[in-house]
Amino acid sequence: MKVLYNNQFKNRDEVVIDIEDRGYQFGDGIYEVMRVYNRNVFTLDEHLARFVRSAAELKIQLPYSVEDIKTMLLELVEQNHLEEGSIYVQITRGTSMRNHSFPAQSVSPVLIAYPLPKKNPSQEQQQGIKMKLVEDMRWLRCDIKSLNLLYNVMAKQEALDHQCYEALLHRNGTITEGSSTNFFAVKDGKLYTHPANNLILNGITRLEIRKLCEANDMTMIEKELTINGIESFDEAFITSTTLEIVPVTQIDDTVIGQGEPGEMTKRLQMLFQALI
Ligand code: PDD
């Protein structure tokens, strides 16, 4: 496997991350996961725009231009002959003696990127999944795609421990998102999802859903849903880069709709497949 390490391509075992890398010690960095379909990086520009935004919010100076990062990521796909799969890219604030304050300007951020194997979520996409309600106890800047995923990890495991595929996070009864997915519900023919504010990650797949709705005469409303309203959902689904669109058939003990993927969900799945 070829790995991008700063602006060089190396074999995986040649890359060594320092014990004082701030990503390792503080989770002081950001990341993106992008899908590769037929050697094309899907929505690459949108992912890069979010990467730049996350870096800016955390005052991490990107050491390369967006154009250069784009060129290097495309080269990574080529070097790995990656037909189908994903690429993971992250940047940390760099390596410096352990200290909470930012290191000197001379310390450069550390960029890495490498291919992730293809995940095959087709069973989940066809049959749907169960979700487990978990209280959202993350920090209040969930809009930044930071490396600090500890609570997301805890929530996902809590869901798995209860034979559910994904956690459905709620903050004081308001549904926010999944541990690594955005959440949508259909009520009376309209699609609802949490507004893109500091409480959720504004998913790139979420943005694609919005575009699909606009182009196909479907209504998507960005409005908070509450856990009290779960019983009134006709359909529900989650989205992410790696899962695309996965129907939700049950939340805790509540069966959603008929307990199978809903019509609007299936229509969006079909429209999404046509995009890629
Ligand atoms: N997760 N919400 C959270 C908290 C996420 O971590 C993700 C993505 C999403 C969906 O965003 P997008 O559609 O841009 O993938 C929503 C990635 C895939 C991950 O951490 O593996």
pLDDT of residue 118: 87
Q: Whose CA is nearest to atom 20 of ligand 1?
A: 180
pLDDT of residue 117: 86
Tokens 């606009």 correspond to 214
Same domain as 108, residue 153: no
Same domain as 176, residue 54: no
Residue 9's pLDDT band, with cuts at 50, 70 and 90, is very high
pLDDT tens digits, one per residue of 43-72 = 999 999 999 999 999 999 999 999 999 999
Q: Residue 87: which CATH number?
A: 3.30.470.10
In whole angstroms, give the CA distance from residue 233 to residue 269.
Answer: 18
Element housing 56 (H / E): helix 44-57
The structure's pTM equals 0.98
In whole angstroms, give the CA distance from residue 245 to residue 133.
Answer: 19
Residue type, 41: V
Query: Within 13 Å and on the Cβ side, how many CA atoms surround 68?
Result: 9
Same domain as 265, residue 149: yes
Longest Cα pair distance anywhere in the chain, in angstroms? 59
Residue 91's pLDDT band, with cuts at 50, 70 and 90, is very high
Q: Which of 75, 96, 116 is the last residue of a domain?
A: 116
Same domain as 131, residue 79: no
In whole angstroms, give the CA distance from residue 240 to residue 245.
Answer: 7
Q: Which of 116, 137, 153 is the last residue of a domain?
A: 116
Same domain as 97, residue 180: no
Same domain as 219, residue 182: yes
Ligand 1, pocket-test mutation among 241, 246, 268, most atoms within 8 A of CB: 241
pLDDT tens digits, one per residue of 231-264 = 999 999 999 999 999 999 999 999 999 999 999 9
Same domain as 131, residue 89: no
Torsion-angle region of 188 (φ positive above 0: left; ψ -120 to 50: alpha; else: beta)? left
- 124 Cα–ligand 1 center, Å: 17
pLDDT tens digits, one per residue of 183-240 = 999 999 999 999 999 999 999 999 999 999 999 999 999 999 999 999 999 999 999 9
Same domain as 248, residue 130: yes
Q: Whose CA is nearest to atom 16 of ligand 1?
A: 181
Q: Whose CA is nearest to atom 5 of ligand 1?
A: 180
Residue 242, exposed/middle/buried by CB under 10 A (0-12, 13-18, 19+)? middle
Q: How many domains does the chain have?
A: 2
Q: Which of 116, 140, 172 is the last residue of a domain?
A: 116
Torsion-angle region of 241 (φ positive above 0: left; ψ -120 to 50: alpha; else: beta)? alpha
pLDDT tens digits, one per residue of 134-170 = 999 999 999 999 999 999 999 999 999 999 999 999 9
Among the options 2, 130, 132, 145, which is catalytic? 145
Q: Phi/psi at 17 (nearest 5 deg)? A: -95, 130
Same domain as 228, residue 132: yes
Same domain as 133, residue 270: yes
CA 67 from centre of chain? 22
Q: Residue 261: which CATH number?
A: 3.20.10.10
Q: Whose CA is nearest to atom 4 of ligand 1?
A: 180
Clarify whether 145 is annotated catalytic.
Answer: yes
Task: Map 56-88 to HEC letters.
Answer: HHCCCCCCCCHHHHHHHHHHHHHHCCCCCEEEE
Pocket-forming residues, ligand 1, beta carbon under 6 Å = 33, 152, 177, 180-182, 201, 203-206, 239-242
Same domain as 255, residue 135: yes
Same domain as 128, residue 64: no
Domain of 224, in residue numbers:
122-275
